[in-house]
């Protein structure tokens, strides 16, 4: 591309509302990561878009997720902390939040004999995917499991399908921390179609499960800062505003003009109508959350579309029975 092509491309890109300062986290170091203490010997690492965590113990390091975008910086972050604290830098355990490659695709960088732990469903999906970057977890659990590693307690739980079928909630009761990945993006709205969610009813329930645990710090798996309980509550309000506006838009948007215009092209009529419902539902949500949650104007229409489909298909709202 010449510089004039770049200028033309940039000219046609939409402008968006500024990112609120509250959405941003600490600056990254020269290698492109930030590592910080959550509480005591629990640490978090971010590259500004993805997050992982690790626990240093006298028996070795427990790594929570291994996003490939952080990649080799995971071990660099661990080395930095282990040297400062005078503890082992060897990763002996890896816990998977779920099977997705963007969160655990750097697992292969670590010792093949490290104990990998996740839900039974995570193991099943990893065996299905057969990706050498993501060795399947040998250690599993069905609904709940408490781990004691190097004198530290970690509680794992599956609360049903949500973003993916196999989401594990990881609670650190002695560190006042919950790791719940791909549900809430602290300070930001979800990305495309509700954080690329497979089960919207489960996704809408997940924050309530999170709030049943006692904790102060949230490792959400994404973006540049830790979360708080207030972030989870704000996300809940945002999603419930989308649901309410979808119900209103389904009740008040008239499909007739779209089907009259497109006639035999049934899919064009469907698209015209459902896009109109989506836009009518998204607009008040964008207006309310711009300046509150980053990228409300970027991704709210996509998430609203996906919630609208769940409200129609899972909840049966807006179904019209032929007379």
Residue 231 contacts Zn ion per CB under 5 A: no
Residue 99 contacts Zn ion per CB under 5 A: no
Where helices occur in 212-295 by DSSP H, the ranges are 229-252, 256-262, 266-289
Q: Which is nearer to Zn ion, 133 or 292 (CB)?
A: 133
Report the Cα–Cα distance between both ends of the chain, in Å, rounded. Answer: 58
- Min dist. Cβ of residue 77 to Zn ion (A): 21
Stretch that binds Zn ion, among 58-66, 93-101, 282-290, 312-320 (CB under 5 A): 93-101
Residue with the shortest CB distance to Zn ion:
100
Stretch that binds Zn ion, among 96-104, 234-242, 287-295, 307-315 (CB under 5 A): 96-104
Sole binder of Zn ion in the list 152, 182, 231, 297 (CB under 5 A):
182
Q: DSSP character for 222? A: B
Separate counts of helices (H) and strands (E) for the chain: 10, 11
What Rg do the C-alpha atoms of the chain give, in angstroms?
22
Listed in order, strand segments (DSSP E) in the chain are 34-39, 42-46, 51-57, 60-64, 91-95, 115-117, 144-149, 152-158, 168-172, 177-179, 217-219
Q: Which is nearer to Zn ion, 34 or 100 (CB)?
A: 100
Sign of CA dihedral 164, 34, 112, 60: negative
Q: Which is nearer to Zn ion, 87 or 156 (CB)?
A: 156
What count of other Cβ atoms lies within 10 Å of the Cβ of residue 252? Answer: 10
# residues contacting Zn ion (CB under 5 A): 2
Stretch that binds Zn ion, among 53-61, 98-106, 143-151, 259-267 (CB under 5 A): 98-106
Q: Which is nearer to Zn ion, 137 or 245 (CB)?
A: 137
Q: Which is nearer to Zn ion, 183 or 249 (CB)?
A: 183
Distance of CA 41 to the CA centre of its chain: 24
- Min dist. Cβ of residue 182 to Zn ion (A): 4
C-alpha dihedral (114, 117, 123, 129), degrees to nearest 10: -50
- Min dist. Cβ of residue 290 to Zn ion (A): 26
Q: Which is nearer to Zn ion, 104 or 281 (CB)?
A: 104
Alpha-carbon distance values, 127 to 105, 121, 122, 124, 131 (Å): 14, 10, 9, 5, 8
Residue 100 contacts Zn ion per CB under 5 A: yes
The 34-73 site mask, x for binding Zn ion (CB under 5 A), equals ----------------------------------------
Q: Which is nearer to Zn ion, 100 or 175 (CB)?
A: 100
- Contacts to Zn ion by CB under 5 A: 100, 182
């Amino acid at each position: 591309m010449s510089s004039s092509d770049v200028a033309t491309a940039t000219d046609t890109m939409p402008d968006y509302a500024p990112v609120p300062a509250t959405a941003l986290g600490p600056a990254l170091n020269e290698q492109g990561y930030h590592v910080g203490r959550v509480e005591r010997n629990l640490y978090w690492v971010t590259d500004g878009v993805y997050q992982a965590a690790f626990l240093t113990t006298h028996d070795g390091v427990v790594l929570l997720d291994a996003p490939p975008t952080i990649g080799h910086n995971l071990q660099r972050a661990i080395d930095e902390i282990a040297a400062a604290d005078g503890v082992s830098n060897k990763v002996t355990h890896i816990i998977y939040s779920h099977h997705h490659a963007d969160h655990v695709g750097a697992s292969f960088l670590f010792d093949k004999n490290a104990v990998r732990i996740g839900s039974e469903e995570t193991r099943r999906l990893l065996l299905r995917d057969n990706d050498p970057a993501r060795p399947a977890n040998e250690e599993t659990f069905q609904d709940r499991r408490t781990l004691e590693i190097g004198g530290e307690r970690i509680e794992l739980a599956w609360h049903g399908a949500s973003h993916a079928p196999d989401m594990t909630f990881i609670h650190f009761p002695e560190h006042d921390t919950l790791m719940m990945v791909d549900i809430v993006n602290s300070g930001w709205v979800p990305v495309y179609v509700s954080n690329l969610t497979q089960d919207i009813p489960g996704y809408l329930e997940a924050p309530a499960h999170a709030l049943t645990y006692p904790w102060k710090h949230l490792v959400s798996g994404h973006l540049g800062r830790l979360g708080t309980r207030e972030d989870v509550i704000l996300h809940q309000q945002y999603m419930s505003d989308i649901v309410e506006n979808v119900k209103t838009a389904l009740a008040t948007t008239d499909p007739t003009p779209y089907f009259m215009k497109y006639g035999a092209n049934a899919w064009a009529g469907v698209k015209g109508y459902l896009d109109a419902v989506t836009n009518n539902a998204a607009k008040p949500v964008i207006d309310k959350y711009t300046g509150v949650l980053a990228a409300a104007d970027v991704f709210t229409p996509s998430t609203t579309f996906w919630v609208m489909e769940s409200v129609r298909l899972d909840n049966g709202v807006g179904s019209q029975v032929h007379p």
